[in-house]
Amino acid sequence: MTHPATDAPPPQEAVGPLMRSLSVLRALSTGGGRRAVGDLVRATGLARSTVDRVLSTLARLGYVRVEGRDAVLAPGLLELGNAYLAASGLPDRLGPAAERLADALDESVSLAVPDGDGVRFVHQATRRRAMSLAFRIGDLLPAERGAPGALFAADWDEDAWRRWRERRAADPTDAGFPAVPPRRDTSGGTGGPESPGADFAPRNGKGGTRSTDPGADFASRVEAARTAGWSLDDQLIEPGLVAVAVPVRDPQGRPVCAVSVVSHTSRLAAADLPAAVLPRLRETVAEMERALADPVPPLPAPEPSATRHASWMRASKQELGPEFVESLARGLLTLTAFGTGRAALPLTAVAEATGLARATARRALITLEHLGYLVSDGRLFRPTPKVLDLGFAPLSGLTLPEIAQPHLAALVERVHDSASMAVLSGTDIQYVARVPTVRIMSVNITVGTRFPAYPTSMGRVLLAGLPPAERTAHLTRTPLAPLTKRTVTSPERLATLLEQVGRDGYALVDEELEEGLRSIAVPVRDRDSRVVAAVNISTHAGRRSPAEDRDAFLPPLRAAAARIEADLRTAGRYLRIAVV
């Protein structure tokens, strides 16, 4: 398949506004996911009005939020990277085996794919330690700085080696790879790729110090990996980090990814790591290769994001007018046509999935191919790992409170009362996100506050979401003390209330936690429909009746929870979303 260089002149059919718009999204992504709008103008060289139009369109798509002077990546953007990951099939088909290997060895395990002269992570099974793997899905490393790169470079032709040498000459400190610590350029200003020196001095497997330039002996490491069938990373990325990688091949014998077992020299020296992990690692690779040989399931329907069609575009254009860049929306929605069982698509299938005219879809595909986000064999288009450059790594560290916060802020702006999110922690609830309102009389609670679950609206929603046996056990071990004269303390009465909450999908608690305090809560569910959190609105009981508060608050509260759940479904497809 062809993979054009992005510095080549664009083809005549390329869509200029799409290319310019994507430069804004890339600048925001490389800036860590939050940048001042003025910085984006300077970074892209585009007019301020153009950047504003691009951000307005990205906000309409749910990919960006504009907060004051800053543009911020939003969880919805992850659907682009999800489309590539689903199309590749690697996390879905090989991820479970990687997780089992990490459990068996008690070490971190990564899946990485080749991306030009770099290596990009597509799955991480990490261990919880003070010193553990910190790379994110979507992070890009230079091929020479890690174990997988030597395996992939074994298949490079002379053009690939030339591009690698040119990149090292142009970027002697690896500044173009923000995921890795920078190398020190000691080439005397020439930028030569073979210059010695770095910000660290790795040790060899016997404890001595060795060459500091990961590229100096890259060719010999590639040859050794080709001969041995595995590759060793002896602190090529940073001091203390060691790894062994083995390629995973498809039924045609082509390496599609590499599996790395990553450890630390405080646990295993580099010289000892291969013997400790290779036997089990090779067994896992054989299991993965059998999984890749299984038949591909029938072509499913595209993901919901790709079902946006021409009528949605027209409505957006009518609402936003010139602030909506149609070519950007069309191009990004084209990427979402790919997914599970849709790894490679012809033009007709892309047009059908997106509702775009064939000519429009064709120009978007040609533009994305020119920029390196797609490859083509002349008939079928396939997304590349570069799609993960569009914000996936900066968004990989999202937590549930971070996902919820902007939606809670919008809810408070609408209802003018405080909103919160909490999770179950033992017999208590713990506040993990909160947006207060400004009133003379308001509810003063901060993130981290804990209350007993049984007399709170969020607690009852969370308890109602437990399996019946867990719910009963929770009520059995909870001391049910009266906090006000209204507090329900009867286990039987509470059990009945929780059953009702489960049926109704909300809980309203009136002055049971504190006199004068009323709150209403609804659940937040993850991709598997499990209740993982609750959100509520708190208000003073003297303003309205309980029925009036329910009628006023329940619809916007449910709408906010639905938006949180939508972001959580997108973010949680290939990422582990921490709840605190």
Q: What is the pLDDT of residues 535-576, one digit of tens each?
A: 999 999 888 999 999 999 999 999 999 999 999 999 999 999
Q: Can you give the pLDDT at residue 203? A: 41
Tokens (6 digits) for 522: 């609804």
Instruction: Write the DSSP string, 466-508.
Output: S-HHHHHHHHHHS----SSTT----HHHHHHHHHHHHHHT-EE
Q: Residue 211 corresponds to which amino acid?
A: S
Q: What is the pLDDT of residues 464-501, one digit of tens each?
A: 999 999 999 998 889 999 999 999 999 999 999 999 99
Q: Residue 36 corresponds to which amino acid?
A: A
Element (H, E) at 412: helix 400-415
Q: Can you give the pLDDT at residue 510? A: 94
Query: What average pLDDT does the chain have?
Result: 89
Q: Can you give the pLDDT at residue 209? A: 38
* Best CA proximity match to 391, nearest among 19, 121, 27: 27
- Under the banding of pLDDT at 50, 70 and 90, the label for residue 370 is very high
Tokens (6 digits) for 130: 């003070």
Identify any residues that bridge with 263 across adjacent strands, giving them in sequence order: 242
Q: Can you give the pLDDT at residue 90? A: 96
Q: Can you give the pLDDT at residue 135? A: 81
Q: Is it the case that residue 221 has pLDDT exceeding 60?
A: yes
Q: What is the pLDDT of residues 18-50, one digit of tens each?
A: 999 999 999 999 999 999 999 999 999 999 999
Torsion of CA 162, 166, 167, 170, to 10 degrees: 180
Element (H, E) at 50: helix 48-61
Q: What is the pLDDT of residues 136-145, one digit of tens each?
A: 999 999 999 9
Q: Is it the case that residue 113 has pLDDT exceeding 50?
A: yes
Cα–Cα distances (Å) from 540 to 38, 152, 404, 460, in that order, read: 42, 63, 23, 19
Q: Can you give the pLDDT at residue 307? A: 53
Higher pLDDT pick, 311 / 354: 354
* Best CA proximity match to 386, nearest among 176, 140, 573: 140
Residue 25 to residue 329: CA distance in whole angstroms: 12
Query: How many other C-beta atoms are found inside a 10 Å radius of the C-beta of residue 106?
Result: 10
Q: Is it the case that residue 193 has pLDDT exceeding 60?
A: no
Q: Can you give the pLDDT at residue 188? A: 47
Q: What is the pLDDT of residues 99-112, one digit of tens each?
A: 999 999 999 999 99
Tokens (6 digits) for 504: 């109704």
Backbone φ and ψ for 534, nearest 5 degrees, come out as -135, 150
Q: Is it the case that residue 294 has pLDDT exceeding 90?
A: no
Q: Can you give the pLDDT at residue 295? A: 80
Q: What is the mean pLDDT of residues 143-160?
A: 95
Tokens (6 digits) for 235: 């602190």
Q: Is it the case that residue 200 has pLDDT exceeding 50?
A: no
Asked whether the beta carbons of 260 and 123 are under 8 A apart, the reply is no
Is residue 444 classed exposed, middle or buried when 0-12, 13-18 and 19+ CB atoms within 10 A define those classes? exposed
Q: Is it the case that residue 4 has pLDDT exceeding 80?
A: no
Residue 511 to residue 541: CA distance in whole angstroms: 7
CA angle at 35 for the pair 60 and 81, rounded to the nearest 5°: 55
